[in-house]
Structure 1
Amino acid sequence: MSSSNPAHGDSTPTELIHARYGAAVDWEPGEWNDTLDVILSHRSVRKWLDEPVTREQIQTIVAAAQSAPSSSNKQTVSVVAVQDAELKKELQVVGRQMFNHIETAPAVLIWCIDHSIARVLAQRDGKELGALEYFDEAGLGFLDAGIMSQNAAIAAESLGLGTVYLGSMRNDMERVQELLGLPDHVVPVVGLAIGHPDPTERAGIKPRLPQDLVLHWDAYQVPEQTLIDAYDTALDTYYSRYGQHQLWSHQFVSRLNAESITKTSRRFVRRVLEKAGFGLK
């Protein structure tokens, strides 16, 4: 079966699987459909054509996001669609990216943990929101924001648009709150830039970890160094078309050290959550 997604031309399902792992695998996909085609061909886009994303497209994408499961149907996630040029420029500053893909994206969606409706209803009924005292409620907010935003990314890409996630919005969550007029109890957790991909951008399907490091059958298996080394090689081969790049294994560890987290205001996430009313017990 051939693919019809313009992001990768006429790649077959097997070719997409191989591209996703940066190497041939010893299994073949069974059934295939357009949804899998969109998901397996995902790539991050940072270069956009000068074409708008319409209001109707954003509304359709958000409808797809709202179709995601919600923990206990509480629906405690909201989204701010940013199209204003000055706001995007300020979000670019927060993102501290080497590319200007936040500023130049036609639309940036900021996903937020939001218990505003719960607060209104609790005040109406004279109730206390005691669950906010426990970490689980904040954790569920992050989880639901991630699920909804992924639905949005898949929906956008199914429409022929490109996307890139913006975890960098956590570089300074308080500044994002200020820019978007969010009250303290509404916590921005991740962004999603959306636009029409520029076909001249040299970005392909980035390889992921070998499935044997991720998929465990019945019982957990300790990661094997040889598989990690193989992934270093696969990703290094991918990056070689764009110039030199640090090996993934070294970059991974460096991004988890204390110096990395203290370069931004991400270390204050707990403070932001506490100001939002989460007890984190």
Structure 2
Amino acid sequence: MTTPEELLAARYGAPTQWTPPEWNDTLDLLHRHRSVRKWLNEPVDEDTIRTIISAAQSGATSSNKQVISVIAVRDPELKNGLATITRQMYPHLEQVPVVLIWLIDYSRIRAVAAREDLPTGALDYLDEVGLGFLDAGIAAQNAAIAAESLGLGTLYLGSVRNDVEAVQELLGIPPEIVPVVGLEVGHLDPSEPAGIKPRLPQEAIVHWDTYSAPDPLLIDAYDQALNTYYSRYGQHQLWSRQTAHRAASESVTKTNRQFLRRVLERAGFGLK
């Protein structure tokens, strides 16, 4: 895949009916993204990690509150502990040199509010938690793009929310600070066969000016495109069926994600 048209065809599982008016290295990098689960036994040095984090901090942050912190986990025992908590099926987490755990962290705001003798009543409202999750996503995505621009691979770990309290205990995180997502960063093993996974067609997600319900046939077409992609690696459940099952309550209650409200309330958020 060397041309924009080839990359777009891989990203959507079929040739697109539109052509980008321009193309550049940033667009090329973004369209080549893939999740990596097989790592070379090579470290990522501290200066590289700091460079990636500086890129993360360069992302937008709501009202410049900067409510995100990050833990760079390199210790093998801690990575093994994270693998157990997050219930990984494959040993990628134990093998990756560093895992960045992104945190919603209002400790700095609480400290300056106390210094100014002001209440933190805004934390009683759901919006504050929402902007924490939003800022964590922005920071983590900037970090992923930065890492991939340096020739590294990445893998998101939403599974840190499988048991937030266990992650807090493992990494010495106070109860008022909430881990929300992890990002593995390392040197990808070129022998890993995973490629560019197709996404839903734009016709299913893009709405011009007002919202319109998508054609159900677009879901069927996507099922076929993704099934063709997975056929290279063996059988895989259709996206529509798998996603429907993941929307069922059992997908939450079989882990400790069902207790996330308790974690957030213990962290001092009112969720009004």
TM range (shorter): over 0.9
User: Considering only aligned residues, what root-mean-square deviation do their CA atoms show, in Å?
Assistant: 0.7
1:62 is the counterpart of 2:57: no
| Matched ranges for 1:226-265 at <5 A | 226-265=217-256
1:48 is the counterpart of 2:39: yes
Which one of the candidate residues 144, 147, 152 is aligned to 1:156?
Answer: 147
Offset at residue 240 of structure 1 (A): 0.3
Q: Write the distance in 2 (CA, Å) between the matches of 1:154 and 1:231.
A: 26
1:210 is the counterpart of 2:198: no
Q: Write the distance in 1 (CA, Å) between the matches of 2:48 and 2:210.
A: 43
Which one of the candidate residues 5, 13, 16 is aligned to 1:14?
Answer: 5
Q: Write the distance in 2 (CA, Å) between the matches of 1:214 and 1:164.
A: 24
Offset at residue 127 of structure 1 (A): 1.1
Q: Write the distance in 1 (CA, Å) between the matches of 2:206 and 2:102.
A: 29
| Map of 1:86 onto structure 2 | 77
1:219 is the counterpart of 2:214: no
Which one of the candidate residues 130, 134, 137 is aligned to 1:143?
Answer: 134
Offset at residue 97 of structure 1 (A): 1.6
Q: Secondary structure of 2:232's match?
A: helix
1:123 is the counterpart of 2:114: yes
Runs of 5+ consecutive residues of structure 1 not aligned to the other structure = 1-9
Which one of the candidate residues 269, 277, 280 is aligned to 2:268?
Answer: 277
Offset at residue 219 of structure 1 (A): 1.3
| Map of 2:170 onto structure 1 | 179
Q: Write the distance in 2 (CA, Å) between the matches of 1:214 and 1:101.
A: 32
Provide the TM-score with structure 2 as the length reference. Answer: 0.99
Percent identity over paired residues: 65
1:98 is the counterpart of 2:89: yes
Offset at residue 29 of structure 1 (A): 1.2
Q: Write the distance in 2 (CA, Å) between the matches of 1:234 and 1:149.
A: 28
Runs of 5+ consecutive residues of structure 2 not aligned to the other structure = none
Offset at residue 229 of structure 1 (A): 0.3
| Map of 1:6 onto structure 2 | none
| Map of 1:268 onto structure 2 | 259
